[in-house]
Amino acid sequence: MAGHSKWANIKHTKARMDAKRSKVFAKIAREITIAARLGGGDSDMNPRLRLALLKARGANMPADNITRAIQRGTGEGEAASFEELSYEIYGPHGAAILAEISTDNRNRTSADIRAILTRNDGKMATAGSVSRLFHRKGQIMIARDAANEDELMELALEAGAEDFKAESEGYEVLTAPEDFEAVHQVIEAKEIAMETAEITQLPEMGAPVSSEAELEKVHKLVDLLEDHDDVQSVYTNAEMA
């Protein structure tokens, strides 16, 4: 989930991962399988697989799970054929929501998602109306006590980062998707701990909601979407006014 507070979202996501680790592993395994099927099982030659493996390591996914997922993708194990698509959604109070899907049955997934939306004040949006509100970026979040601000900023920008933001709780490094790996590797080589490191969808601007109760309605819908087995990632532009 992406939305009203980057640091609050990190805490929220980590709590969900701890509570539903098996489901998180299943989603990451699906991403690894798709990446291996599309680009092969050698991560040195497959950038998408490298990103999926980075996510797996961040979630402390067991090595055996990773190996099996790669084998399914390369044809060494049984695997369904997955289709990837995005659902553009308007949630409560006009919040824009983008859900990235991988499914082996588009009709089943569509019916499930529409049922969730109907029960939670959401609706499908016309193509392009929500996706245009987000841009794809590499994002690395680092706690304030993990690095010196000036040194980290210089390191990140020299490595190719587009932007560096210092905030009360830590630092945000933004990159073009194609530069994410290079920047990540430079920061990792300095043994700087990263809270999160991923390719994500960031809203062009936030959509303010006027109360915590309204924001909670948006978060409830986002959580329900994230709980669906075929939903890989969910992003929203909702934030507190």
Distances (CA, A) of 45 to 36, 52, 70, 186: 10, 13, 14, 19
**Is residue 101 a contact partner of residue 84, using CB atoms and an 8 Å limit?**
yes
What topology is assigned to 85-124+209-240 in CATH? Answer: Alpha-Beta Plaits (3.30.70)
Q: Each residue's pLDDT tens digit in the chain (241 positions)?
A: 444 467 776 666 666 666 678 889 999 999 999 999 999 999 999 999 999 999 999 889 999 999 999 999 998 866 668 999 999 999 999 999 999 999 999 999 999 999 999 999 999 999 999 999 999 999 999 999 999 999 999 999 999 999 999 998 999 999 999 999 999 999 999 999 999 999 999 999 999 888 999 999 999 999 999 999 999 999 999 987 6
| Domain regions of the chain by residue span | 6-73, 85-124+209-240, 133-203
Spatial distance between the Cα atoms of 17 and 28, rounded to a whole number of angstroms = 11
pTM for the whole structure = 0.86
CA atoms of 116 and 137, how far apart (whole Å): 28
Query: Tokens representing 141?
Result: 């979040």
Return the SS3 of 167: coil
Query: Of all helices (H) and strands (E), which one includes residue 7?
Result: helix 6-19
Question: Which region holds residue 161: left if phi is over 0, alpha if psi is between -120 and 50, else beta?
Answer: beta
How do beta strands 238-240 and 207-209 pair? Answer: parallel
DSSP H or E run through 139: strand 134-143
- Determine the topology of domain 6-73 in CATH: Arc Repressor Mutant, subunit A (1.10.10)
- Which CATH architecture describes the domain 133-203? 2-Layer Sandwich (3.30)
User: Do 85-124+209-240 and 133-203 fold alike per CATH?
Assistant: yes
Among 140, 197, 144, 200, residue whose Cα is nearest residue 173: 140
